[in-house]
């Protein structure tokens, strides 16, 4: 069954959901924000290969991820966040904060650190270290203990 498209709606929330509203899509973005770049790293969340391929293709088509070859024989690609992808960080942070408050489970969120000074970034994107307002691309995400680390990249890849 094909879902209804919200792409032509006047509501920006509906249009956004048309791109990132499927739950695996946001989990892929979450994983990219914490360092996943390769297919095998993204699949550690438990997503089926066919769904992962389709979602990665969507995110590349939408300009949220950039697909870049890292090996020619056999062909292998990695997926890197674009500025458009990094701009989804506040969405992911907000969903995480809501989940910490209203759902059961581990209460140790990932840490958000200012790349420039390594200060902790607050949910309103202020750096506790230097006081600056921090843009999404200036944030380094440190995994929570419950998050699986991506598989180590092969040497030279």
pLDDT per residue as tens digits for the range 60-105:
999 999 999 999 999 999 999 999 999 999 898 888 888 888 998 8
pTM value?
Answer: 0.80
Q: What is the DSSP string of the chain?
A: -PPPP-TT-S-HHHHHHHHH-SHHHHHHHHHHHTT--BHHHHGGG---HHHHHHHHHHHHHTTSEEEEEEETTTTEEEEEE-HHHHTTHHHHHHHHHHHHHHS-S---PPEEEETTT-PBBPTTSBBTTT--B--GGGEEEEPPTTSPPPPPPPTT-
CATH 1.10.10.10 domain residues, the chain: 1-87
CATH architecture of 1-87: Orthogonal Bundle (1.10)
3-49 confidence digits (pLDDT tens): 678 888 888 989 999 899 898 999 999 999 988 999 999 999 899 99
Q: How far apart are CA 132 and CA 46, in angstroms?
A: 37
Q: How far apart are CA 102 and CA 100, in angstroms?
A: 6
Q: How far apart are CA 91 and CA 38, in angstroms?
A: 23
């Amino acid at each position: 069954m094909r879902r209804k498209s919200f792409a032509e709606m006047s509501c920006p929330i509906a249009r956004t959901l048309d791109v990132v509203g499927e739950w695996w899509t946001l989990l892929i973005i979450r994983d990219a924000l914490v360092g996943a770049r390769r297919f095998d790293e993204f699949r550690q969340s438990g997503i089926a290969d066919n769904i992962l391929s389709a979602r990665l293709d969507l995110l590349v088509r939408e300009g949220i991820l950039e697909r870049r070859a890292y090996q020619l024989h056999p062909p292998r690609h990695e997926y890197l966040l674009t500025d458009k992808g990094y701009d989804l960080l506040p969405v992911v942070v907000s969903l995480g904060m809501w989940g910490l408050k209203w759902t059961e489970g581990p209460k140790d969120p990932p840490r958000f650190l200012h790349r420039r000074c390594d200060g902790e970034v607050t949910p309103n994107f202020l750096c506790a270290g230097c006081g600056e307002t921090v843009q999404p691309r200036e944030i380094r995400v440190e995994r929570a203990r419950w998050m699986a680390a991506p598989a180590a990249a092969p040497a030279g890849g």
